[in-house]
């Protein structure tokens, strides 16, 4: 760690910020920058500010607020030819804001919810039971699906049952730590949450964990390794798991006469490099797919659940931006493969359009 002028960032964060402060190349990807038009909402400007903190500028509430005006979607990292990752310094700036008590109140309220209840909604998380307590497959449901989009859970469970896959769930499912990690970065509280979930998974003895939420999948598959938290099971995304099942299964599928566009979840596409399985599923179901001009790893983020929780107005802008792109295709149905995207895009659905969950379509096709 470096320590200068009361502001603490890792050397890696400073190195990236120093590289980004005079580089404009990725601003066209930033969903928040594009929708707000504010210069501070560009990776360059945020990097510049971090570099200036090192040079004596005081970290204040305005700067802290700017650091939260970012969905951490990784479009900037994906664009960078050199391989720099602006989310690294943005997350650390959030940690610093917490340390310096500069976190905006609306963000602090969400952090408190997470601290008190384990999820950003500040609610008791409902329990969902699998088909077999001895199953070798564990479905990790995640906070957003459990608290906000229960229909998606029912569809996914139904799909697994129809494909004869026994599965179990965790009672009192602990959080993955993904939302808290986005809110306050790599701090003890986050690692403690991660260790708790890892231990619960270890005790089950399962060999496969299927994450319904790509954000959780990215957390388990990538961050736990970064944190040196061993996970004794293979992490699968729900999409890749179901895509493989459909390829291998002899269960009959009813072709779905749908014309849709598909929104790539940014953690799924950019962090996990997964863009094909959802498309393979749609193709297997006979669904006619019309791609948005920017899709796959280039898809603009619609906003995340945590962003939606603390910055609903900004999230409405990013979601509306994605809807505008969807509306330029000839279809009126937008398919998502993430509870968070479903939540965020449903809240901004334009008249005459609909959001459909990928697994709900699979469920119908398997009926």
| Contact positions vs other proteins (CB under 8 A) | 19-29, 34, 36-40, 42, 45, 48-49, 51-52, 55-57, 60, 62-63, 65-66, 79-82, 84, 293-294, 328
**Shortest separation between residue 54's beta carbon and other proteins, angstroms:** 8
**Shortest separation between residue 80's beta carbon and other proteins, angstroms:** 6
Closest to other proteins by CB, 274 or 301 = 301
Closest to other proteins by CB, 37 or 352 = 37
**Shortest separation between residue 108's beta carbon and other proteins, angstroms:** 18
Closest to other proteins by CB, 21 or 332 = 21
Closest to other proteins by CB, 163 or 294 = 294
**Shortest separation between residue 92's beta carbon and other proteins, angstroms:** 16
Closest to other proteins by CB, 69 or 274 = 69
Closest to other proteins by CB, 47 or 303 = 47
**Shortest separation between residue 111's beta carbon and other proteins, angstroms:** 20
3-state secondary structure string, the chain? CEEECCEEECHHHHHHHHHHCCCCCCHHHCHHHHHHCCHHHCHHHHHHHHHHHHCCCCCCHHHHHHHHCCCCCCHHHHHCCCCCCHHHHHHHHHHHHHHCCCCCHHHHHHHHHHHHHCCCCCCCCCCCCCCCCCCCEEEECCHHHHHHCHHHHHHHHHHHHHCCCCCECCCCCCCCCHHHHHHHCCCHHHHHHHHHHHHHHHHHCCCEEEECCHHHHHHHHHHHHHCCCCCCCEEEEHHHHHHHHHHHCCCCCCCCCCEEEECCCHHHHHHCCCCHHHHHHHHHCCCEECCCCCCHHHCCCCCCHHHHHHCHHHHHHHHHHHHHHHHCCCCCEEEECCHHHHHHHHCCCCCCCEEEEHHHHHHHHHC
**Shortest separation between residue 55's beta carbon and other proteins, angstroms:** 3
């Amino acid at each position: 760690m470096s320590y200068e002028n009361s502001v603490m960032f890792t050397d890696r964060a400073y190195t990236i910020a120093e590289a980004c402060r005079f580089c404009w190349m990725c601003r066209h990807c930033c969903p928040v920058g594009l929708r707000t038009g504010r210069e501070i909402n560009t990776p360059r400007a945020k990097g510049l500010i971090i570099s200036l903190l090192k040079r004596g500028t005081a970290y204040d509430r305005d700067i802290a607020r700017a650091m939260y005006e970012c969905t951490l979607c990784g479009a900037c990292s994906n664009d960078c030819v050199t391989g720099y990752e602006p989310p690294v310094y943005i997350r650390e700036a959030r940690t610093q804001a917490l340390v310096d008590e500069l976190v905006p109140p609306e963000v602090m309220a969400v952090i408190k919810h997470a601290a008190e209840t384990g999820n950003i909604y500040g609610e008791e998380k409902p329990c969902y039971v699998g088909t077999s307590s001895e199953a070798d497959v564990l479905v990790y449901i995640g906070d957003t699906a459990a608290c906000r989009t229960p229909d998606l859970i029912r569809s996914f469970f139904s799909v697994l049952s129809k494909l004869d896959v026994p599965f179990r769930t965790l009672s009192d499912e602990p959080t993955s730590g993904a939302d808290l990690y986005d809110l306050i970065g790599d701090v003890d509280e986050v690692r403690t949450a991660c260790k708790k979930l890892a231990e619960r998974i270890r005790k089950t003895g399962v060999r496969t964990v299927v994450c319904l939420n790509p954000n959780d999948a990215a957390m388990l598959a990538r961050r736990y390794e970064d944190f040196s938290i061993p996970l004794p099971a293979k992490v699968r995304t729900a999409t890749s798991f179901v895509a493989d099942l459909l390829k291998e299964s002899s269960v009959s599928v009813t072709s779905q006469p749908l014309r849709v566009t598909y929104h790539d979840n940014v953690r799924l596409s950019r962090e996990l490099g997964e863009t094909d399985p959802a498309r393979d599923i749609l193709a297997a179901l006979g669904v006619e797919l019309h791609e948005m001009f920017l899709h796959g790893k280039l898809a603009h983020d619609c906003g995340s659940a945590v962003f939606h929780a603390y910055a609903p107005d900004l999230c409405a802008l990013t979601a509306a931006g994605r809807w505008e792109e969807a509306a330029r295709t000839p279809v009126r149905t937008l398919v998502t493969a993430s509870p968070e995207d479903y939540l965020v895009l449903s809240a901004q659905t334009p008249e005459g359009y609909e959001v459909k969950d990928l697994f709900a379509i699979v469920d119908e096709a398997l009926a």
